[in-house]
C-alpha cells in the first residue's frame, strides 16, 4: 500500500513517523532527568527540567506537524509554512522566556540545561531515525 498523496485522507499522519523516536527519546530523558533534578535541586529544579523538556518537545512537534500539514495539503507550501512557523515560534519563545526570566524564578537555570539536553536528545534521535530510514523514491509523472 502506498503513502497517501497530498489531499488524500491520512496524508498528514503518513508524514509524521519521524516524530516517534525523538518523542520516545525525550520521554526517556524526562523519566531520568526530572527525578534526578528533584533529588539534586528540589522541586523547583525538577519543575524547571520538566518545563525545559516540554518546551523543546512542543516546539519540535509544532514544526513537524505544520510542515507535514503543508506537505499533505500542497507540497509547494512546505518552505513558506516552515519559515512562518519558525519565525512565529522564535518570537513567542523569546517573549515567553523573557517573561520567565523577568520573574527571577530559581528554576530557570535548570530549565536552560534541560532545553539544551532535550535539543541534543531530540536531534540525535531524529538523526538516528533519518539514517536508518530508507531513502524516498519518486515516480516521474508523464513528461
Q: 126: burial class by Cβ within 10 Å (0-12, 13-18, 19+)?
A: middle
Distance from C-alpha of 22 to C-alpha of 28, rounded to nearest angstrom: 10
> Looking at residue 2, what is its pLDDT?
66
> Looking at residue 4, what is its pLDDT?
67
CA torsion sign for 90, 96, 21, 17 is negative
| Residue 33 counted as domain residue | yes
Of 94 and 137, which is predicted with more confidence? 94
DSSP state at residue 9: T
Domain total of the chain:
1
> Looking at residue 41, what is its pLDDT?
96
| Residue 137 counted as domain residue | no
| Residue 118 counted as domain residue | yes
> Looking at residue 121, what is its pLDDT?
98
DSSP of 12-33: TGGG-GGGHHHHHHHHHHHHHH
| Residue 23 counted as domain residue | yes
The boundaries of the domain holding residue 77 are 18-132
Mean pLDDT, residues 59-81: 92
Sorting pLDDT into bands at 50, 70 and 90, what band is 143? low
Q: How many residues does the chain have?
A: 143
> Looking at residue 1, what is its pLDDT?
52
Amino acid at each position: 500500500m502506498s503513502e497517501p498523496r497530498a489531499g488524500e485522507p491520512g496524508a498528514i499522519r503518513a508524514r509524521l513517523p519521524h516524530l516517534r523516536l525523538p518523542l520516545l527519546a525525550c520521554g526517556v530523558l524526562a523519566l531520568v532527568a526530572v527525578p534526578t533534578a528533584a533529588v539534586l535541586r528540589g522541586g523547583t529544579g525538577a519543575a524547571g527540567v520538566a518545563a525545559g523538556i516540554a518546551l523543546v518537545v512542543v516546539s519540535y512537534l509544532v514544526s513537524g506537524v505544520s510542515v507535514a500539514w503543508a506537505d499533505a495539503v500542497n507540497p509547494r507550501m512546505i518552505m513558506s509554512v516552515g519559515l512562518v512557523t519558525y519565525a512565529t515560534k522564535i518570537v513567542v519563545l523569546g517573549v515567553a522566556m523573557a517573561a520567565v526570566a523577568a520573574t527571577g524564578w530559581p528554576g530557570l537555570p535548570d530549565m536552560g540545561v534541560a532545553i539544551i539536553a532535550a535539543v541534543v536528545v531530540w536531534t540525535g534521535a531524529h538523526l538516528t531515525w533519518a539514517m536508518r530510514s530508507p531513502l524516498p523514491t519518486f515516480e516521474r509523472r508523464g513528461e
